[in-house]
Each structure stands twice: as structure tokens, then as C-alpha cells.
């Protein structure tokens, strides 16, 4: 009984505490003026990407390309739109790592703040779905970081959020250092749509922290489309633009 009361008091106090503590830079921890933001130094070192580039994959367009890049025109990808808030660099990477391993949940809010503007044209039937972790990894880590960001994004955008519409049915080793083809093979069959999730005819937005080659997101999109999703998009905090950053 007492524990319940204590939890209730803490819940009540939390917004007050958040308010009373000075906001800190998501990159270096320096005190800043605004919540969920960065100091001037970190800000200048983060490359924000915005909504430009290819209308499908979001990568920069060549001079001769109009809306879609040549690759997306030649072979339309399963992910009908991919966007990332930032280019993968020292600060954006350290934020993703701190968030994943340092359990700084507040960073999830900061990420969502900069990801939300990329999702300004979602239909009413959209649902946000985190790229799932295998259960074993959730137990070790304690939480799925993408679920925290997806929940925060859903709150900001006023759209549905489903933590378990997608399930990881087999654990996969880290993809680091693998070739594109090896990655594809490793994640094949790793995901399954939850039979209880209502996905038919809907736009599903996958939420991830780091987008590298997209092989994981692609395997997710395949499972979602099989379950009837009409359109699958992806939004991530940061994205590798230069292949040399892959390993
Ligand atoms: Zn900073
Ligand atoms: Zn493209």
C-alpha cells in the first residue's frame, strides 16, 4: 500500500522535478536554455538532414534527378519513405550510444523532438512501430530504446503507437562489419507481424535509432506488408550517409 502511495507521489512530482532541473545539452550535458536541445557547440557539429533529398530514400539527389533518385526509380524499395533527423557523425552517434547503453531516457525525448517534423504528412490511419529487439536483448538491456522514441513521437504527433505490432522471432548477431548481402541474409525471416495487430490498409512508420544500410528495416517492411500494411515508412534519429562509417 505504502509503495503505491509513494509511486503515486513520485509520479505527481516528476513533472515538477523535470521543470526544476536545468535542461542539459543532449550531446555534452552542458546546461542549456531550452529542454530537449543542444548547446551551440554540439549544435554546430550535428548535421541535421530535414526532409530534402530523394522523396523515397531521402538520400541527396544528383543534379539531373528531380524527385526520386535513379536507384529508387529503377527499383522502388519496399520502404516507401525513409527519413533521418541527422547524419551519422560523432555527436549524433554518441547520443544514440548513450541512449542505448546509458539508459538516459530523456535523450529519447530529444531525439523525438527532431524526428517529429519529418513526419508531418501522415494519414489518420498511421501507426508508429518500433523496430523490435529480441526478447533476450530486452532482458539484458532493460528496454527497447526505439519503443521509447516511438511512444514519444506518437504523443507529439497524435497518431497510434503499437509497441508489439512487429516481433523479432529470431535473435540476430550485430550486423557491424557485414556486407550488404550478408546483412540481408542475416535478418531474413527475423521479423513477424503480430497476428493480433491491425495493420491492414494502414501506413506503418518504423522507428529506429540508427539507420545504416536499411537491411533490418527492409526485413521489417517485408513482414509488415505481408500482414497487409499498405505503406511502410521509416524514421530514424541518425543515418549513415557515407559507407566508410559502416564499420
Ligand atoms: Zn553540448
Ligand atoms: Zn532514392
Ligand (nearest to CA of 81): 2
Rounded Cα distance between 99 and 111, Å, is 10
Reported as a single tens digit per residue, the pLDDT across 156-209 is 999 999 999 999 888 777 777 888 888 888 888 889 999 999 999 999 999 999
Mean pLDDT of 227-241: 95
Distance between CA atoms of residues 130 and 161, nearest Å: 9
Going by their DSSP bridges, the two strands 81-87 and 231-239 should be labelled as parallel
Residue 155 phi, psi (nearest 5): -65, -45
Ligand 1 centre from 38 Cα, in Å?
5
Per-residue pLDDT tens digits for 70-85: 999 999 999 999 999 9
Question: Is the pLDDT score of 247 beyond 50?
Answer: no
Quick check: 245 pLDDT over 60? no
Provide the grid cell at 160.
497510434
Q: Nearest bound ligand to CA 76?
A: 2
- Distances from the Cα of 153 to the Cα of 13, 46, 50, 134, 179, angstroms: 23, 21, 16, 22, 32
Q: State the pTM of this model.
A: 0.85
- Rounded Cα distance between 154 and 25, Å, is 23
Domain boundaries, the chain: 1-45, 48-245
What is the CA(40)–ligand 1 centre distance, in A? 7
CA of 43 relative to ligand 1 center, distance in Å:
7
Ligand nearest to the CA of 23: 1
Distance, CA 247 to ligand 1 centroid (Å)?
25
- Which CATH class for the 48-245 domain? alpha beta
Please tell me the predicted confidence (pLDDT) of residue 123: 95
Q: Which three cell numbers stand for residue 165?
A: 505490432
pLDDT at 169: 87
Amino acid at each position: 500500500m505504502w509503495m503505491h502511495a509513494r509511486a503515486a507521489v513520485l509520479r505527481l512530482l516528476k513533472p515538477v522535478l523535470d521543470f526544476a532541473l536545468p535542461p542539459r545539452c543532449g550531446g555534452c550535458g552542458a546546461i542549456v536554455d531550452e529542454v530537449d536541445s543542444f548547446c551551440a557547440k554540439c549544435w554546430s557539429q550535428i548535421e541535421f538532414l530535414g526532409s530534402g533529398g530523394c522523396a523515397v530514400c531521402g538520400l541527396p539527389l544528383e543534379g539531373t534527378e528531380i524527385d526520386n533518385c535513379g536507384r529508387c526509380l529503377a527499383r522502388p524499395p519496399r520502404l516507401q519513405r525513409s527519413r533521418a533527423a541527422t547524419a551519422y557523425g560523432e555527436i549524433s552517434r554518441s547520443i544514440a550510444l548513450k541512449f542505448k547503453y546509458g539508459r538516459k531516457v530523456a535523450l529519447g525525448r530529444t531525439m523525438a523532438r527532431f524526428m517529429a517534423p519529418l513526419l508531418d504528412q501522415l494519414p489518420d490511419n498511421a501507426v508508429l512501430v518500433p523496430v523490435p529487439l529480441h526478447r533476450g536483448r530486452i532482458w539484458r538491456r532493460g528496454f527497447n530504446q526505439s519503443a521509447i522514441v516511438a511512444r514519444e513521437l506518437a504523443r507529439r504527433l497524435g497518431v497510434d503507437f503499437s509497441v508489439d505490432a512487429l516481433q523479432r522471432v529470431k535473435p540476430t548477431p550485430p550486423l557491424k562489419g557485414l556486407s550488404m548481402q550478408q546483412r540481408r541474409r542475416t535478418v531474413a525471416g527475423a521479423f513477424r507481424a503480430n497476428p493480433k495487430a491491425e495493420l491492414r490498409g494502414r501506413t506503418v512508420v518504423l522507428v529506429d535509432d540508427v539507420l545504416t544500410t536499411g537491411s533490418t528495416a527492409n526485413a521489417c517492411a517485408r513482414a509488415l506488408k505481408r500482414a497487409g500494411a499498405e505503406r511502410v515508412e521509416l524514421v530514424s534519429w541518425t543515418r549513415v550517409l557515407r559507407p566508410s562509417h559502416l564499420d
